[in-house]
A and B are shown apart, each in its own frame.
Chain A
Amino acid sequence: MQNRVISRKDLASFVDDLIKTKSAGEVIGIKAQGNKFNFGPLASAAELRLDYDISLLPPKKYFFPQTETVLKYEVDKTPKVEAVAAEKPLCIIGVHPFDIRGLLLFDAVYGGKDPDPNYFLKRNNAVIIGVDCLSPNPKAFAASMGTNVTEEGFDLMLTDLGGDYFVTVGTSKGHNLINKAKTKEAGAPDLEKRDKVRKEAEKKYQVSLKMKKEEIPALLDATWESKVFKDRSETCFSCGSCVMVCPTCVCFDVQDEMALSLKGGERYRRWDGCMLTEFASVASGENFREHKEQRFRHRMYRKGKYLVERYKYLGCVGCGRCASACLAEIASPAETYNLLKEAK
Chain B
Amino acid sequence: MKPRVAFFDFTGCEGCQLEVLNFNLEIVDLIGAIDIVEFREASSDHSDDYDIAFIEGSQTTDRDVERVQKIREKAKILVALGACSCTGGVNALKNRFSMEENLKVVYGDSAKLYSTIPTRPTSAYVKVDVHLHGCPPNRNEVISLVKCLLSGKKFEQCHNPVCVECKLAENICAFERGEFCLGPITRGGCNAVCVTGGRKCWGCRALVDEPNVNSEKEILKKYGLTMDDMMLQFKLFNGALEVSK
Chain A residues close to B by CB (< 8 Å)? 33-36, 38, 56-57, 66-67, 234-241, 244-245, 257-262, 270-271, 276-278, 292, 325, 327-328
**Contact residues in A for B214 (Cβ distance below 8 Å):** 235
Indicate if the CB atoms of B147 and A276 lie closer than 8 Å.
Answer: no
| Closest partner residue, chain A, to B213 (CB atom) | A237
- Cross-chain contact B172 with A237 (CB below 8 angstroms): no
Chain A residue with Cβ nearest B162: A239
Task: List B residues at the A interface (Cβ < 8 Å).
Answer: 26, 29-30, 32-33, 143-144, 146-147, 150-151, 159-161, 163-164, 167-168, 170-173, 175-177, 183-185, 208-210, 212, 214-216, 218-219
**Once the chains bind, are A238 and B210 in contact (CB under 8 Å)?**
yes
Residues of chain B contacted by A66 (CB below 8 angstroms): 168
Contact of A239 among B26, B150, B164, B176 (CB under 8 A): B164
Give Cα A36–Cα B168 distance, bound, in whole angstroms.
16
Count of A-B residue pairs with CB < 8 Å: 101
Most chain A CB within 10 A, of B33, B173, B183, B209, is at B173
Cβ contact within 8 Å between B219 and A327? yes
- Residues of chain B lying within 8 A (CB to CB) of residue A238: 161, 208, 210, 212
Q: How far is the CA of A258 from the CA of B33 in the complex (A)?
A: 13
Q: Which residue of A lies closest to B34 (CB)?
A: A260
Task: Determine the residue in chain A with the shortest Cβ distance to B214.
Answer: A235
Kindly state the separation between the CA atoms of A325 and B180 in the bound complex, as whole angstroms: 15
A236, A240, A258: the one within 8 Å of B164 (CB): A240
> Which secondary structure characterizes the binding site on chain B?
helix
User: What is the bound-complex CA distance between A153 and B29, given in angstroms?
Assistant: 48
Q: Which residues of A contact B144 (CB under 8 A)?
A: 257
Interface contact B172-A258, CB-CB below 8 Å: no
Give the complex CA separation of A327 and B30 in angstroms: 41
What are 26 sample pairs from A and B whose C-beta atoms fall under 8 A apart? A36-B172, A66-B168, A235-B214, A236-B212, A236-B215, A237-B212, A238-B161, A238-B208, A239-B163, A239-B164, A239-B183, A240-B167, A241-B163, A244-B163, A244-B168, A245-B167, A260-B33, A260-B150, A261-B32, A262-B33, A262-B151, A276-B160, A277-B159, A327-B184, A328-B212, A328-B219
Q: Other than the known A235-B215, A327-B184, what 5 A-B pairs have Cβ atoms closer than 8 Å?
A: A258-B147, A260-B143, A262-B33, A327-B219, A328-B212
